Structure 1
């Protein structure tokens, strides 16, 4: 929220929580009591919906507490995502019978009704162009209806057209507890696996916080049509073509204490997802996936980062075979560097078939650029780094012991190391230009030694 600055001006006080504290022209220790709280600028928003967000202002006993509680209330209002601006003024109360220590607090808000636009962004080594439209505060309680159309292009792996529409609503006025209902349609050409897929689905999701992190429980019901991409698609992919109906429930819990999502200096990320498909339809499996990252600044501006990820899945029910569009794939310039996208694991005629299990570990050391050009400005967006990546793919067999499965997944592991540059793209993505040396590869892998370039929102 920043540091609070208060400045007394002709009988009222304006509060700015974004400016650094320079000097105080107000005695913050003097007794003060908030008598009235006013909200100006409401058009659609219900007043009773906002009252819990500003109620704490009445608990102040001196002027410092008044200012602090107002800043907290402002942050609560902004967190709802329905206001363009929120301003605060504190004035002496002019109501009959008011004392010199009574104050009126006024929140001046500007509602955000419609948002959207045309955007181009970087994804997982691909470029996405999108058109979005959002209608905020539909019924006056921070509901939102959002529609989005996106075209994604990755010249080595796939192209994707997708359309989404989703309605979200905070429950009990808490933006951290949300219910979402939506539908989507996608058309994807997966070039590196030789198939194309059309899908249409519905979803319902519930998000809530706990001491363990942020939880999301989501149900998906989706019809999928998988087809061969071209005449050269091998039979191992063609035999999986056809229609499937998947109904699944997924739980994801995320704990993120990092001080930055892209180039952190400290903190950790833990994300675990569990999915069960088989609540109707003809697709049945259990899928588990976990990611962990920890960051530590060992010297000024020198950061060590350790990451690990693993996943496994197995078929259940009568048909235990898992389709290619549900499996794991490993390799790429932001994960197992030194290999192409989907470059690790079984291939047929150059087409990646995916696997039922994988594991991946990475160690990085980040430093500023030599001589730190652009210090305090554009140069702070860059880091140089050296790294080692190791990983493998395989399968977990339930009729074998844990030791046997670990040994199976440990054999024939892949290993690569290298160094390069990292550029932070806003707070959502990063770009890497690396020189990579694959040390350990297996027959059938698609190796990418030397210069490797990647852009993405997720990395290891």
Structure 2
């Protein structure tokens, strides 16, 4: 924040614990510099709460909020703040002038980096043209290629509506043209997709993020090699696909990676069919997580996930690439990827329903304070995973207990290195006793 002056001299001496609410103040004028192609109405709403300030502390708080709002608009690459005494013929008693100084983003920006997925990592490259028409619109071209040889090519146009009367809900629309390719080695097929995705997203005041999507395009299932079984080959070939999708997320945790308190609820629901008017398959997946702090940095985590597929056999058969595959370090530890479920002819056959749960006792590293900030990147845990598929009972229950250490990567993903002891499993399951490595952003 820039320099601040007060007509009543509210010295910014934190040692004296000065109560800034005692100093009456108001904002007479707001200046935003550095914008050349952005319309005034797009930035006005982001700073208007500053005019409601009645004391100097309000000005400080609302100035910080306004800066966050301006950066969220996606037009600035940096932003500085200056608070000064209001001057001129229109200056009022106890009046201040707030100035935001920033630079607009370039018309074309690019980046190359890496991205973590579920037990996968990818090299990504992106070109973006921000603020195309002066109200936050952006066009982006993204390409990624992962370790498991999946690829994503995505051209997207996004239009935000932060400046409108419903701006507090963060509404945004987008249209994407995409081409995806992803292998499924445990069932020996590859999915090739190309199409168009329409998306409308918004956030409700209590923290529920919503995304409504419509996707239409061609999906093709391709046999990976000559050993692909016949029951998989029956699903192969191109097919017109139409999907209506809803994604809802309530994020109430204190951290995305190592939460110690709070709740996460995420649901994905899809209606799938071959045309817009004929939907024969419904797919639903719900993930929940509860974190409870205990003592000495130790916390209890309870998580669960449930999925279900329903179809009208007269309209639509369930394609094999829409089935659930249970098992692996992100779902049921102690099993290989897709290893906890039915197998046919040596490959995973998938399931139409499943449920899985986990209990974790998370703790900081012993003597982590001696390692400084580096020690905060690690956590240890004791865990118990259990679940099954094709039933919502405890029949054919799979379960694993173990212990491990996790390492945080950024603010979204982590690496786990666990020792797993499978306790119950079926004869055809692919069990992985001993050490198991996992990397991702969503675990049970």
Q: TM-score, normalised by structure 2?
A: 0.92
1:65 aligns with 2:49: no
Separation in 2, partners of 1:430, 1:416: 20
Aligned partner of 2:386 in structure 1 is 390
Aligned partner of 1:103 in structure 2 is 96
1:265 aligns with 2:249: no
Instruction: After TM superposition, list the pairs within 5 Å mapping 1:243-258 onto structure 2.
Output: 243-258=238-253
SS at match of 1:81: coil
Task: Indicate if the aligned counterparts of 1:135 and 1:145 stay in contact, CA closer than 8 A.
Answer: yes
Instruction: After TM superposition, list the pairs within 5 Å mapping 1:195-210 onto structure 2.
Output: 195-210=189-204
1:420 aligns with 2:404: yes
Comparing 44-53 with 370-379, greater Cα deviation is found at 370-379
1:171 aligns with 2:161: yes
Separation in 2, partners of 1:283, 1:350: 32
Separation in 2, partners of 1:376, 1:261: 21
SS at match of 1:417: strand
Aligned partner of 1:53 in structure 2 is 46
Separation in 2, partners of 1:8, 1:109: 18
1:213 aligns with 2:208: yes
Q: What per-residue deviation string (whole Å, max 9, x for no partner) do you get for residues 186-242 of structure 1? A: 122221111122110111111112247111111111201112111111111111111
Aligned-CA RMSD value:
2.6
Instruction: After TM superposition, list the pairs within 5 Å mapping 1:11-410 onto structure 2.
Output: 21=14, 29-113=22-106, 114-154=108-148, 159-173=149-163, 174=167, 176-210=170-204, 211=206, 213-278=208-273, 280=275, 284-316=280-312, 318-372=314-368, 374-394=370-390, 406=392, 409-410=393-394
Q: What per-residue deviation string (whole Å, max 9, x for no partner) do you get for residues 68-125 of structure 1? A: 2222222211222321222221222222253452222211122223433111232211
* Gap runs ≥5 in structure 2: none
Separation in 1, partners of 2:20, 2:399: 63
Comparing 196-205 with 97-106, greater Cα deviation is found at 97-106
Instruction: After TM superposition, list the pairs within 5 Å mapping 1:1-20 onto structure 2.
Output: 7-8=3-4
SS at match of 2:368: coil
* Corresponding residue pairs, total: 437
Aligned partner of 1:399 in structure 2 is none
Instruction: Please point out which of 396, 411, 426 is paired with 1:442.
Output: 426
Separation in 2, partners of 1:430, 1:21: 37
Separation in 1, partners of 2:58, 2:302: 42
Counterparts in 2 of 1:26 and 1:363: CA distance versus 1, 3 Å = closer
Aligned partner of 1:402 in structure 2 is none
SS at match of 1:334: coil
Shift of 1:279: 6.6
SS at match of 2:170: strand
Separation in 1, partners of 2:413, 2:398: 26
Q: What per-residue deviation string (whole Å, max 9, x for no partner) do you get for residues 7-51 of structure 1? A: 54699x9x99xxx95567996533323222111111221112111
Task: Indicate if the aligned counterparts of 2:330 and 2:438 stay in contact, CA closer than 8 A.
Answer: yes
Separation in 2, partners of 1:57, 1:76: 12
Comparing 40-49 with 206-215, greater Cα deviation is found at 206-215
* Gap runs ≥5 in structure 1: 396-405
SS at match of 1:53: helix
Counterparts in 2 of 1:100 and 1:283: CA distance versus 1, 3 Å = closer
Shift of 1:262: 0.6
SS at match of 1:54: helix
Separation in 2, partners of 1:302, 1:26: 36
Separation in 1, partners of 2:35, 2:359: 51
Separation in 1, partners of 2:272, 2:397: 30
Aligned partner of 2:437 in structure 1 is 453
SS at match of 1:73: helix
